[in-house]
Structure 1
Amino acid sequence: MSFTQRVSLLFFVLLGAAACDPDVAPTLPLTGVLYESNFSAGTDGWKADFADYSTANGDMQLRSDWTVLPKPLDSTRRSIMLSGMNRSDDLFMYLTRSLTGLQPNHDYKLVFGIELASPYATNSFGIGGSPGSSVYVKAGASATEPKRQLINDFYEINVDKGNQAQGGKDVLVLGNIGAGEDVEQYTLINRNNADAPLTVRSDSNGQLWLIVGTDSGHEGLTTLYYSRIRVTAL
């Protein structure tokens, strides 16, 4: 066997080994849909957490679950439910997961498309703010894993999400959870940042952390169901 033949054989052996290695992540496109899920088979790696409240706030009734959509919506569809009592007037309820297989150290312009079920009227009134128009849908990404941390008896998140109606470096405001005028039942709504894509750089391993949630100015109970999340690179 000639030297050239040996090199070619070695190349194909290594290529085949890489293809069979489960630790080798597939390469995602530089543009187009990077991620999408309707949670039909599970939470798809999303983890729920809560921030922006004090240990002195008492029972916040913080809950999360993988469950069916609430009535009168299609009960054959699955979703991730987040619920919390905003005793701090600033509760952030969020989901996060990693996204791998990206180009390392590459700037991506991301557009999030979020479908969720909300029963709160846009023109509703409540303590501290409207249950519909004072609870803001947010989405973003970071090369740093979003984590809740306890600082001086206050739980806060380690990425820049802004506050309530204001976005931050890592997280943008996509709108509020108002489902329409005089709404009294759960209704599917869609929010996106198509008019203001988020630019974020992947880490050296080609990874980003996605984050989706709500930032509340309404001092009451909010219960939402996330039924679809889509992330597109422009």
Structure 2
Amino acid sequence: TESRISFFGSSSPRVQSGTSPQGPFDAGGEDYQGDEPEKPTEETGEDKPTPYGVRGRSVTPRRTTPSTGDTGGVDLVPRGDSRDTWPGDEEVLQDESISEQKAAAVIDDSRPPLIVGLEPSVAALPSGSEIVLQLIVQGAPGSYRLPLGMTYDPGRVTVKSFEPAPGVDVMEGSIELDSGWMSLDLMVPAANDGAQAVGALTVRAEAPGPVPLAFTSSGATLTDGTVLPVAASDGSLFVSSSEEDGG
């Protein structure tokens, strides 16, 4: 099962794997209807400018094996050298991997990285309950384009939806329920204080146990074409049984 949207433009619909009448960024509690769709433009045959110098979709972040140790530190996220090992995710599209490796931009490691994290970063919740996690990015010197992936255990939690914050555009987004993978390609405006919530995840607890939330990214592209490294403080959830929570 996979919920997927793919589009270009200024609209910012909610990426979701279920139906939710209201999101954390909806004003006044009204149902989110999305932005007005743009009118299609006539094809002129001329090359059109592409966001941040990236033609089409950016390099897809690859899945990684979530760490089983301490997730409190901040580390550079993997750039696509491995994939996760959740059941049912053994197949790899070789042609896609090769094309993405060729298209990968050179990351400027001399620049400070963008730091990606969740708020709260650690939480415990009983099975059957839901929690909203804010996706926080800090350290950006201006607006940027950020491809980001997150791996989780689909047997213990379900990522129901991702809703972008006001001003953030989702160029492409997907939630793969069976394999425990969320992929986003975000266009983020500059923040006044250098840190901002770029969206919110709604997560439902399913089965008891620890759930690492591990990020991966191919780098963030600034408006001048510079590609910054991305660091992440991975999140961690612990799901308890309803009986344990009540007793």
TM-score by structure 1 length? 0.34
More strand by share: 1
- Bigger Cα Rg: 1
TM-score by structure 2 length? 0.33
